[in-house]
Amino acid sequence: MLAGCGFHGASSLPLPGGAATGKTYTVTAEFKDVQDLTPQAAVRVNDVAVGDVSDITLDPKTLEAKVTMRLKESVNLPRNAVATLEQTTLLGEKFVAISPPPNVAPVGHLANGDALDSASELPSVEQVFGLLSQVLNGGDLGDLQTISVEISKALAGRENDVRGALAQLTTFVSGLADQKQEIVRAIDGLDRFSAALADQDTTIATALDQLGPGLKVLADERAQFTSLLTHLSRFGRIAGRVIRASSSQTISELTDLQPILHHLAAAGANLPKALEILITYPFPRDFSIAAPGDYVNLDFRVDLGPVLCSLFAGQTPAQLEATLGPVEAALVQLLSDGNQCPAAGSVQTPLGGNAGSSSLARLIGGIGGPQ
């Protein structure tokens, strides 16, 4: 009766949990060793069953196991997805895990008939226990025991020192943990600095290339540099002796200078204003804005008597007229008044105004009057 139902062995019986139902599409992957993977094994994506293994055959060209898988039509994976052989526990069942490619951008969509790339092989239980046996029996544990004994001998009698060192190490690690943000910022700054150096690698290379000739010049002039430093040291010693010898006199001069500086500071803003008037003295600072033809009121005193007396004393009016001319001779006569020199400052008139009663005032007023 089983033969009439088409029984093909125990492997044809459905296994719980992994069979794909509904509409599916088929993909393949090749493995060098599938170990004890069997048909009906689960196919998972992110630990979720999305299909099952439908067939396992040997590829005659590559001599690798070709695993055919059925995936639910709703499963959307990139075309460059990777298939790996994994197992639930150390002694659990094997299954095929499909995941996007690591460190690579997904490309396209997985479709019916596509072949997946396979990742590294899963170590078998026999390999795990074999390696564990080598660790237990191959001498590594003996070396570990020797190391442990030597450490115990080295720490014998130093328990308090070791405890203090561990406490300090704990404090140090805690300090590092508290400064984690600053350390991260420092590392980021170092990264930016390294990037800036990388951007300027051509400039740095050029500078290093040009540094060689400069160092050669320094090496060639080493004797002169040595002599310069020797003389500079000698000058420093002499200058030090001079400063020490004249320190009291320098302090005294600075002390005498202090009142002058105090008065200058007290003058404040008045000193610059006074210096401005000094440039245009005796005229005011804004005298230059007067245009030709303007009237400018200015009082000043002219004292020419002593000068004229010293130049023309003893000369007669005829001699003065012959020497100077009629106007100048009359001016000298008015000032000298019969060879008697007038008192200093006896003539005063405003420039540009009406002259006084004397002839000299009328003459000067005519010279400085309006143009």
Can you tell me the distance from the alpha carbon of 98 to that of 75, in angstroms, rounded to the nearest whole number? 11
Q: What is the pLDDT of residue 13?
A: 55
Alpha helices in the chain (DSSP H): 125-137, 140-155, 159-178, 180-199, 201-220, 222-245, 247-267, 270-280, 305-312, 317-324, 326-336, 359-368
CB count within 10 Å of CB 77 equals 21
* Residue that the structure tokens 């009016």 belong to: 317
Nearest to 50 by CA among 31, 27, 80, 79: 27
What is the per-residue pLDDT for 238?
Answer: 92
According to DSSP, the β-strands at 24-31 and 115-118 are parallel
- Own/partner contacts of 7-11, CB < 8 Å, gap of 24 or more, are 11/38, 11/39, 11/40
Tens of each residue's pLDDT in the chain, 371 residues: 444 455 556 555 555 545 556 788 999 999 888 888 889 899 999 888 899 999 999 988 888 889 999 999 888 899 989 998 888 877 778 899 998 888 888 888 889 989 888 876 666 666 677 777 766 666 556 677 778 888 888 888 788 888 888 889 999 998 888 898 999 999 999 999 988 888 888 888 888 888 888 888 888 888 888 999 999 999 999 998 888 888 888 888 888 888 888 888 887 777 777 777 776 666 666 666 665 666 666 666 666 666 666 666 667 777 777 777 776 777 766 665 544 444 434 433 333 333 333 444 444 444 444 44
Coil vs helix vs strand at 40: coil
User: Do 42 and 49 contact (CB within 8 A), yes or no?
Assistant: yes
Q: What is the pLDDT of residue 53?
A: 92
Buried b (16+ CB within 10 A) or exposed e, 345-361: eebebbeeeebeeeebb
- The model carries a pTM of 0.34
Give the pLDDT score at 141. Answer: 60
* pLDDT of amino acid 370: 41
